[in-house]
A and B are shown apart, each in its own frame.
Chain A
Amino acid sequence: KNQVEQSPQSLIILEGKNCTLQCNYTVSPFSNLRWYKQDTGRGPVSLTIMTFSENTKSNGRYTATLDADTKQSSLHITASQLSDSASYICVVSSDYKLSFGAGTTVTVRA
């Protein structure tokens, strides 16, 4: 069964600090990996999409990495802001089907 596991389940950081979220997957065959941001009460919004050949992709203060050999990805948030408080969801695409992780809830405190 294709699975996407995210850690930690939640974390709290101070404004201005950095943090890294982890995603491990067993999805096969692999097509691409996405990270979504979901604000409370809203739908997910795409941050990055990475293919097998891409190691790193950035979107402003968000940087995603992918190690297709170990089937791991990370999302790094730099200089966090209060608006970064949200759930971050890792999604792996396989044969045009998407497998969603349960998400990591990030709370940024002033």
Chain B
Amino acid sequence: NAGVTQTPKFRVLKTGQSMTLLCAQDMNHEYMYWYRQDPGMGLRLIHYSVGEGTTAKGEVPDGYNVSRLKKQNFLLGLESAAPSQTSVYFCASTTPLAGGLETQYFGPGTRLLVL
């Protein structure tokens, strides 16, 4: 069981370039999430998905798009990267439980630097 994996681990982009971050999970989880983590701040939710073919906006969705064509994969796209998108990106997945007591399982993160 690999759990949650993220590709790539590290990437440097120039302003205006585009890229896609890939998240894959092998736990058959329904829900998947993309967060960003910036120094001195808590993780912030970018987009999430509650099932294959569905996506929804989180707290900071601007400048990002997502797709969930397969249950096990959740893609995060940056169409035109900006320096403000320099961050560490984490993917997480879970299966919902009553009372919201599910545990989110996080990937190892993708470090993105936009010059």
**Which chain A residues have a beta carbon within 8 Å of chain B's beta carbons?**
4, 31-32, 41-46, 49, 51, 89, 93, 96-103
Minimum Cβ distance to chain B for residue A29 (Å): 11
Check B101 against A102 for contact (C-beta < 8 Å): no
**SS class, residues of chain A in contact with chain B:** strand
The secondary-structure label for the interface of chain B is loop
Which A residues touch B92, using CB under 8 A? 43
Report B44-58 CB contacts with A as 1/0, cut-off 8 Å.
110000000000000
B103 at the interface (CB under 8 A from A): yes
Asked if A101 contacts B99 (CB within 8 A), the reply is no
Residues in chain B within 8 A of chain A (CB atoms): 4, 40-45, 90, 92, 96, 99-101, 103-104, 106-109
User: Distance (Å) between the CB of A59 and the closest chain B CB?
Assistant: 12
Partner of B108, one of A32, A41, A51, A98: A41
A93: nearest chain-B partner, CB-CB: B100
**What residues of B have a CB within 8 angstroms of the CB of A45 in the complex?**
106
**Bound complex: CA A103 to CA B99 (Å):** 25
Task: For the A-B complex with A31-B99, A43-B92 known, give 17 more contacts whose Cβ atoms are closer than 8 Å.
Answer: A32-B100, A32-B101, A41-B109, A42-B109, A43-B4, A43-B90, A43-B106, A44-B106, A45-B106, A46-B103, A89-B43, A96-B96, A96-B100, A98-B45, A99-B42, A100-B43, A103-B42
- A52's nearest neighbour on chain B, judged by CB, is B99
Most A CB contacts (10 A, CB to CB) among B42, B44, B99, B106 go to B42
CB-defined contacts of B90 to chain A, threshold 8 Å: 43-44
